[in-house]
Chains A and B, each alone.
Chain A
């Protein structure tokens, strides 16, 4: 498989995952704001912070309100992580890898692109936003479903899985970190217990994990259980444990991957050694920070191993 094609497939998967999680987070977010007590000052700007986009956002907007945040995340072409930019990148990637991804992927990508272009305003205005985001999520799932059911499990498939699981792991750390940051902002009063539950519940919903969490943990929504579920559960597809195992699995199918597999195993071990579910707060945030550094590092390893820029 051509290195360049592998790289494009990998990025297609990352962008696809990014679009879906962006849509999910935004659609969950207004519900969260409605539920929290009025004196809790969570703002839309948190979504910018979750994605570490403060600098990009502040360069373009002075008012950190809902409209600007949503516009920036969905429709701003100058934001390379916006939904519109991600979709554009997917289309370019699919267009240049049509020989390895399925033909229908190209058609579905075009459809999704056309839908977003025609309905973008709907997503920015609040009244029809839910419907818009819902269709985006469905569009992403349609493409993923197509690939899952029909794509041969060859090298291209493994690069697709690498991209998706890396992006997923990254999103899970960001959601957890945002939850933890919000909790730390709360005043320690009677309303806090209630707010904790609302915030952690929101973290679960953003990752489409609320129902499976309940079934698996048989617990009400509590910080330590939520964190444990999202970090260590083997079966939940967005948990860190699951994503890292999937990354290891994909690596073992690909050539020259020994160092990467060893690296992932070691890093995973030290993560789970460090985390203490009894002691959340700043300690957890530090663990999540380490995890994010590790994921960025792993991406560089992938690039060096399979997409080298040799002459």
Chain B
């Protein structure tokens, strides 16, 4: 028996694969006819193969619980998510546009602050931003770029259009899972890759390496590039190790590095100290350097900021880049794009209400049961209120929080996230909500991944896709239907 695709319940949402009962959207047609050829036994064995592959490849993420840290296997659904190449090309251009503007914006904030003087963004928004770092004022990183690696969250609305949900400019993670998802799929469904023109994703790590190398302050043939991880207990440690390995860079912890009197960063090697040129840091700003930020940070390196300010080492992302991650700033990004680039944004924002504004706050407080309220500087889906799923008590709590600190909250309509068929057992596919996190690299050049990491809320009706909160993932295919090969 195969999956009864004509009974697949398309909801009121945009479905990425199925357009009408039993029929697929154009870029997914070959995929659907392939899926229709699989019976229950085939699906069960492919699923098992995927699970075994994940265990053997050791693809895992760490969950923090009261009993300690648990290393969990990566939850993965074997039905991919398909996007037409033509649409992706526009989206990709929009992502590049957005990051270019954001980098000009960050550079401006740490120098002249023209955008504030010109009255586009109110000064107090910046003054009260938790991620603005006074210590970074006046610094000029190479190419004027502060955020070299960005993981932007996109959602697709009922209208079929992509919207930006948030910009992650601090230490975005997930790219290794995007790459591993593709390796898993190639092992599990090899024959589909022969008949469908799926864009490859594999060159990300070499692009990342080139980006990092181009930042080296020393113009030497082989700059020393390191990945700085907080260590094995970090939830993204798997990714840190993966990227270091794929790039041939050293994976270091704070204790492997030392900054000496000459304001140069060195790593401790078997032949003594060796100079470090570029640090891809996967540690938050505040933990980077106990001399400047949190004094009790044990994962950082004392003196790192001295070395960076002296121009003796490059850091990606630059300290202070997170200022543009603020969700209040997010609301201004369309204006930011117009201001610096004199272009209209290619990808729209999700409608956002700013609680510091009296009129908008009133609207938010009156509609808490319909809106999603987010703190301006959290990540990972924490500290949110999802109105329609909330209790009266929770809404009252958030109303107080908002009134106490309006600058720190924004609200957005509850999103109609798109869905895609996801396996439930071996002979049933049901719609599950998903988002997309593409990764953008910027230094002298800009690079956007083909597709990105598709995260799925595995629970029926749920909108939470974070892996720490029960989310899973799917491979993401950018499919070219224009010059169809076969």
Chain A residues within CB distance 8 Å of chain B: 1-6, 92, 95-99, 103, 106-107, 110-111, 114, 155, 254-256, 306, 308, 310-311
Contact = CB atoms under 8 A, between A and B. Distances in A.
A139 to B, nearest CB: 13
Contacts of B359: none
B241 interface: yes
B470 interface: no
Contact of A110 (B58, B249, B250, B251): B58
Interface stretch (B38-46, B163-171, B266-274, B436-444): B266-274
Interface string B32-63: 00000000000000000000000111100000
Name the residue among B232, B249, B255, B270 with the largest chain A CB count within 10 angstroms: B270
A110 to B, nearest CB: 5
7 contacts: A3-B269, A92-B232, A98-B245, A99-B245, A106-B57, A107-B57, A310-B258
Interface in B239-266: 241-242, 244-245, 248-253, 255-256, 258
B250 A107 contact: no
A106 B58 contact: yes
Contacts of A96: 232, 241, 251
Contacts of B272: 255
Contacts of B56: 107, 110-111, 114
Contacts of B270: 1-3, 6, 155, 254-255, 306
A99 B268 contact: no
Contacts of A254: 270
B57 A110 contact: yes
A6 B256 CA distance: 12
Interface of B: 55-58, 232, 237, 241-242, 244-245, 248-253, 255-256, 258, 267-272
Nearest to A6: B270
Contact of B250 (A5, A103, A256): A5
Nearest to B242: A98
Given A6-B270, A98-B242, A114-B55, 18 more contacts: A2-B256, A2-B267, A2-B268, A2-B269, A3-B256, A4-B256, A95-B58, A95-B241, A96-B241, A98-B244, A99-B244, A99-B250, A99-B251, A106-B57, A110-B55, A110-B56, A111-B56, A254-B270
Nearest to A307: B270
Contacts of A114: 55-56
Nearest to B57: A107
Contacts of A3: 256, 268-270
Given A2-B269, A255-B271, A107 B58 contact: yes
Contact of B268 (A95, A103, A310): A310
A99 B248 contact: yes
A103 B256 CA distance: 23
A95 B256 contact: no
Nearest to B268: A3
A26 to B, nearest CB: 27
A308 B255 CA distance: 12
Contacts of A103: 245
B109 to A, nearest CB: 35
B414 to A, nearest CB: 40
A260 to B, nearest CB: 12
A273 B245 CA distance: 47
A153 to B, nearest CB: 15
Contacts of A97: 251
A1 B267 CA distance: 9
Contacts of A5: 250-251
A4 B269 CA distance: 8
Contacts of B269: 1-3
Nearest to A108: B56
A25 B255 CA distance: 39
B58 A4 contact: no
A251 B244 CA distance: 27
Nearest to A156: B270
A149 B116 CA distance: 62
Contacts of A310: 258, 268
A254 to B, nearest CB: 7
A97 B245 CA distance: 8
Contacts of A92: 232
Contacts of A311: 258
B232 A95 contact: yes
A3 B241 CA distance: 17
A4 B267 CA distance: 10
B279 to A, nearest CB: 14
Contacts of B255: 4
A213 to B, nearest CB: 37
Nearest to A305: B270
Contacts of A1: 269-271
A4 B268 contact: yes
Going nearest first, the 8 A-B pairs with the smallest beta carbon separation are A255-B271, A99-B245, A99-B244, A98-B245, A306-B270, A110-B58, A98-B241, A3-B268
